[in-house]
Structure 1
């Protein structure tokens, strides 16, 4: 009888032990980083032939009554990250937290930017921008999924962010004015972001700003990865909010202090129009090669999650020159 009890106890312990082991392994699999691009997408529905994307109507001309518009433009020449400035940090969203982005960002502008940067360190650093603009401009990298990443910054992110990083073939940093009013200067060290890094799991697309396209179809854009004709470049256009509350350089959710204007260009109440930042990226992608941007693992590399950040570190004098150029309707290179 005693032997039977001992045997029964042993069987129960083995069953409980196996269940506990399975639970621990299951939990570790659920929280461990993905190691391959196949884990977590992107899905076939995330891609679209650019020829199947409808044309975007040309914007209407501003009424003559809006004579106080600021129709100028300023291009800031910052290169295309020839220095290989990459990291997994996000100074705007998670300052002070190393690898807080959980995916890799590419940078132009300030060459020192990482999670530990401060206003003082940005102000003292070197920059890739001609003319001395020490602002930092950054976005998640784009990868080709048919080749493994081999360099350290290609393998550092984990979380399913795998593949060779595609270098930017061109980067255009540009400021534009408002179609309905003059603009005022951005304050120094203003933080800004555009897009929604968690769009795949968000309740709505309210913060989605992804604009993908192909270089020979400038009148078409999509929130999906475009399949471009042979010889075309894949493009990303990242447009930042341009209505400032006049008070803060950062805000709740990294958005409340900077908001987007309405479709007619008018800023929300109690905000002021500042120069609109646009970062336009282009990539050489062989026809048929699948691509994906880095993302959080649960976002499955959705193209809707495209986003970007910046910190304005221009001097007040340089920002005043940008504002003057926009308000006077000139095309300038800074």
Structure 2
């Protein structure tokens, strides 16, 4: 089990991390989530007020085993991926039980440990042992003790996270720019779809977020966009745009063929797909080229996919009673992007080499709530503000006439050998944020950038609650935090397109 190589932080990510409080977990995880449950009381005027429910467990935090596994032999990766998917399933099931047993928790102080966390550890221990066996069976080396140490999960309560005034929803601010002083208010629609009993939940239409502090008025947010590195004499200055639509045909599933090949519902949330039209859990290098494409350039069969954005206005989407949808806390109306721009750009210090066929890249981290922000790469903004403010830990409240924007800038340095890695990160890296140069042993490749624009009704904050919230799909225990946004990509091309993209960029041309 190797040391996880983390990406070099951008100035934006560094600023986000500086703003966040983190609590180290056994096994190396980090957690900065909102851990407050709320109980409603009516005051004399009949208006609802909220207060923190002391001692209420809000979420389950488990070490992300995948990030620790950097040296899995190729022959063991399919088996390991299947077991990693089992770990995710176990966590989502435990979180569901946590959310559905609030009444029992109030009556028995040991309920969560005895009925949820303890059994979860036992399941994880058995799964981790199967991972060890899979690796050792093909001659791989694994730190058995270190692996087994990742079995234990923890819970967090309001009392624990407010101790010392340190844990305020990961250091985030509310829409007025002031933190909420250790009180996390219940947000969103309280429809009862999976929410905790007795009105006690942690926000959102499904009872697991988002909350008021997950949003910020973009007009009051401090400017944080840094200047780009200066271009050198050998810079690759061209751009290549590919037009692949906005997924108007609603090509979606809850799989993730990169991290959980062969596993149905491996993502536990819904993805929008453009480009390749036949990407699912059963897709592989042998049939990627048979998928067809939504791109205008029919040589571009690449897969571009991201978690859907939903409006939590009480609407029940078609997947309300399905895994990956409402059964796992992903509720509300799925919003289609109004526009999607896919652009490949160059490197400010060097020429780029063509992307290899079937290169896989994941940018961002769907589990920042438990992993911390080391791999976070979420960028949220509003039209008219993108050159000034990019948010990582909060969703933007856009002014009238402005639209929500999600931006992704993928890793642009490749190790020159591998199209994937055991933890799906170490074969690619980000360029140095100051110079733009790739690190030793890495080659510059065309940087994939994506810009998604949504026409989203602006949520409102009333009495500390968010109404008509929007949120990105995710694992339920991640509480629908903005920082969990991520994007996935598989490079699949024909007709020499990969070389055409690189040549266009190296020549300083504008191509499509």
TM range, normalised to the smaller chain?
A: 0.7 to 0.9
SS in 1 for 2:499: helix
Counterpart of 1:258 (choices 415, 422, 428) is: 428
Alignment of 1:232-311 (within 5 A): 232-263=402-433, 264-288=435-459, 289-311=468-490
Measured in 1, the distance between the counterparts of 2:486 and 2:112 equals 36
Structure 1: unaligned runs, 5 residues or longer: 1-18
Aligned twin of 1:328: 507
Counterpart of 1:92 (choices 246, 258, 279) is: 258
Measured in 2, the distance between the counterparts of 1:57 and 1:25 equals 47
SS in 1 for 2:363: strand
* Cα-to-partner distance string for 1:116-144 (whole Å, 9 max, x where unaligned): 00122210121000111100000100000
Measured in 2, the distance between the counterparts of 1:153 and 1:275 equals 39
* Cα-to-partner distance string for 1:307-333 (whole Å, 9 max, x where unaligned): 011100012611111001100111111
Measured in 2, the distance between the counterparts of 1:277 and 1:61 equals 17
Measured in 2, the distance between the counterparts of 1:217 and 1:138 equals 25
Aligned residues: 308
What is the TM-score of this pair, normalised by structure 1?
0.87
Measured in 2, the distance between the counterparts of 1:298 and 1:159 equals 9
Deviation at 1:205, TM superposition (A): 1.3
Aligned twin of 2:304: 137
Instruction: Determine if contact 2:239/2:345 at 8 Å carries over to the other structure.
Output: yes
* Cα-to-partner distance string for 1:12-40 (whole Å, 9 max, x where unaligned): xxxxxxx9xx8899549x98xx7353421
Measured in 2, the distance between the counterparts of 1:57 and 1:97 equals 39
Instruction: Determine if contact 2:365/2:375 at 8 Å carries over to the other structure.
Output: yes
* Cα-to-partner distance string for 1:84-120 (whole Å, 9 max, x where unaligned): 1110000111111000000101111000010100122
Structure 2: unaligned runs, 5 residues or longer: 1-107, 121-192, 196-204, 460-467
The higher-RCO structure (CA 8 Å, 6+ apart) is: 1
SS in 2 for 1:144: strand
Matched, 1:159 2:328: yes
Measured in 1, the distance between the counterparts of 2:321 and 2:496 equals 38
What is the TM-score of this pair, normalised by structure 2?
0.57
SS in 1 for 2:477: helix
Deviation at 1:297, TM superposition (A): 1.2
Aligned twin of 1:43: 211
Counterpart of 1:122 (choices 268, 288, 294) is: 288
Aligned twin of 2:181: none
Aligned twin of 1:221: 390
Report the structure number with the largest CA radius of gyration.
1
Measured in 2, the distance between the counterparts of 1:154 and 1:108 equals 25
Cα RMSD (Å) of the superposition?
Answer: 2.3
* Cα-to-partner distance string for 1:157-208 (whole Å, 9 max, x where unaligned): 2211111101111111110000110000110000000001100111x31101
Deviation at 1:60, TM superposition (A): 4.6
